[in-house]
Structures are given as structure tokens and as C-alpha cells.
Structure 1
């Protein structure tokens, strides 16, 4: 779908990402399920599997996951202009909010109501992150494929039990996934020629 031929698409993309970014506390892992609900369930711009793929790419790329996911989603929905619009919609709310907070930082720092509010938000963020993990794990388990399930379980166990930097775990998982894709492609090619 071309963004040039449909300016209302870009406007809807901007307002959706702006709204999600403005009212989401807790970072990328919190905004991802809200993006899924908005763009997969409500607007039906992309499929569930595609959202999982975009999320995986956004996590693997350098930078904030929310911005990376917005770039990929915007590009997928409306091309380069959509990516730009989605970036603006995602980055503007935190920029504006932090600009206001920085002006009143001294008052916010010592305010017990603000401190209690932030503590409460931490609990909510933990619940939303747990929900994301369950949703993403459900998507992987629903595929009924052994390798992705083993990668997911192995990455979880290594993260839980070992003191290994998560970057190394992501790199190992990426290498395993690439090797599996090459192996599957070679197998399919061999079966196709027989």
C-alpha cells in the first residue's frame, strides 16, 4: 500500500503510534503487545506471525525496541514515508514528556505521590511484560516446531541459570536460526530435484 496514494493511512499510522507511545509506560516490551492489539487485531494491517517476526527483528536491532518496531511496522504498512511517520509518532510523546519533566525535576524527585505512582507503574509493567512473554511463547508453541521451541526454552534456561550476557545468547540463537534456515533451504532444494 503506497503512502503517497493514501495520506489518511499515514495520518492513522501517526495517530496510532503517537497514542500508544504517549500512554505506554515501561518501554518496548510493554508497547509491543499494544502495537499487536492495535495493528493486528483492530486495524488488521498485518498478520500475527508477521508481528512476531517484526518484534524479533526489532529486539535484535540496535536501539530502542519501540522505535525499531515502529520503523518496521511503518515501512511494512506505508513504505519509507510510513516509517518516518511511525518514528515521529513514537518519539514525540516521550520527548515532550521528558522535556516537561526536566523543567520540574526537583519537584518531582522529592514528591511522595510521584514516587508512589512510579512504584505502582513498576508492578503494572511487570505484569504486561509477563503477558508479552506468554503471548510470544504461545505463538512459538502453536507452530509445533521443535527447533524454535528448543531455542526458546534453552535461551530462557541459560538466562535464568547462567551469568551470561544476553547479547551472547541472542547471537547464538541467531546463528542457530540462520544455520537451520540454510539447512531447510538445502533440504527443500534437494527434495525438489529428486
Structure 2
């Protein structure tokens, strides 16, 4: 049994390290990569579990990529898996930032590096749009009116009326808790 857990921990480290090392743009970019590896390729967790973990990761303090890696690690190998996943996720940025800081002046003035970063911005935007579409399809499949309409109203509140994001998060959380409470009282399923 210990050998199996060691294999899972090594797999977690390798996967979280590679996702962290080769994704630029933050946690929202890491989520599709984790889905590709942990859900589709390795089939270690389900699509719904990853969606739930993404929701939890977004609502907890800290970097989303680290939070979701810790949740996946904990789900697959307990506390040890969470620690291994955390280390695997934070190690690449620490190394990259250390190298960049050593050569900061050269990076700052390089037109080639500036052009590469501009190109990466376009790629990050495309991946985020893909993630929004995929997550939107999962929400629509649930046929939950609140979850279907909430993103639209959140966008309107923030983009048009400039409502503070913290207030939007609190109101959204309260609405979802109320909906869950009502469904549980009616004997329905959660969701």
C-alpha cells in the first residue's frame, strides 16, 4: 500500500510541476491542463470533482493553481499528496522568478522578451475563453436556473455598474446557500 501511495505522490509531483512550469497566466490556465491530465488522461478524478475543486480553490485565499493542486493532491493521497502537490506547483515559479530576477535588466530591455510576452497574452486569453465555455457547458447541463443566470448578472453588475467584486461574491454565495437550503428542505438533490 505504501508503494502505491509513493507512486501516486510521484505522479502528483510530476503532473503539478509540469502544469505549473508550462502554464503562464495564472490558475485559470492551470485548470484546463489539470482537467486534461487528471480527468481525461489519467481518469483519477471526475469532471464534476474538478469543477467542485475549482470552485473551492477560487473561494479560498491564495493562488488558484496552488489551491486546486492541493485539493487534487489531498483527494488522491491525503495530507502527503497535498504537500507534494503544493511543492510541485510552487517550485517552477520560484525557480523562474529567481532566474528572471538575476537577469532583470537584460529581460526588461529586451524587445524579443517583450514580443514573446505579448504573444503569450493572446494565448492566455484564448485558454481563458475556452475554460469559460467549458465551465459554462457544465453549468448549463445541470439545468439550474440560478447558476445559469448568475454569470450574466455578475458580468452586468461588475462591468456595467462597477459593483465591487467582494460584494458580488458575497451575494452570489448567499444566493447559492439559500438555493441549497431550499432544495434540501424540499427533499431535492444538492446543486
Give the TM-score normalised by the residue count of structure 1: 0.93
Report the Cα distance in structure 2 between the residues aligned to 1:134 and 1:21, rounded to whole angstroms.
22
Contact 1:54–1:73 (Cα < 8 Å) also in 2: yes
Distance verdict in 2 for CA 1:113–1:143, change over 3 Å: same
Structure 1 position 156, deviation (Å): 2.3
Structure 1 position 148, deviation (Å): 1.2
Structure 1 position 99, deviation (Å): 0.4
Write out per-residue CA displacement over residues 54-103 of structure 1, whole angstroms, 9 at most, x where no aligned residue. Answer: 10110111111001111111111111100000000100000001001100
Contact 1:140–1:148 (Cα < 8 Å) also in 2: yes
Contact 1:3–1:82 (Cα < 8 Å) also in 2: no
Task: Structure 1: state its 5+ residue gaps.
Answer: 190-194
1:26 aligns with 2:16: no
Distance verdict in 2 for CA 1:4–1:117, change over 3 Å: same
- SS of equivalent to 1:25: coil
Which segment is superposed worse, 166-175 or 17-26?
166-175
Contact 1:3–1:79 (Cα < 8 Å) also in 2: no
Structure 1 position 167, deviation (Å): 1.7
Which segment is superposed worse, 63-72 or 142-151?
142-151
Task: Structure 2: state its 5+ residue gaps.
Answer: none
1:44 aligns with 2:43: yes
Report the Cα distance in structure 2 between the residues aligned to 1:162 and 1:118, rounded to whole angstroms.
32
Structure 1 position 159, deviation (Å): 2.3
Number of aligned positions between the proteins: 188
- SS of equivalent to 1:62: coil
Give the TM-score normalised by the residue count of structure 2: 0.94
Structure 1 position 174, deviation (Å): 0.7
Write out per-residue CA displacement over residues 12-38 of structure 1, whole angstroms, 9 at most, x where no aligned residue. Answer: 010000001001111111111111111
Distance verdict in 2 for CA 1:32–1:117, change over 3 Å: same
Give the aligned partner of residue 165 of structure 1.
164
Q: How does 1:1-194 map to 2 (within 5 A)?
A: 5-188=4-187
Indicate the RMSD between aligned Cα atoms, in angstroms.
Answer: 1.4
Contact 1:3–1:9 (Cα < 8 Å) also in 2: no
Report the Cα distance in structure 1 between the residues aligned to 2:52 and 2:136, rounded to whole angstroms.
13
Report the Cα distance in structure 2 between the residues aligned to 1:169 and 1:3, rounded to whole angstroms.
45
Structure 1 position 160, deviation (Å): 2.4
Write out per-residue CA displacement over residues 159-190 of structure 1, whole angstroms, 9 at most, x where no aligned residue. Answer: 2222112121111111111111111111118x
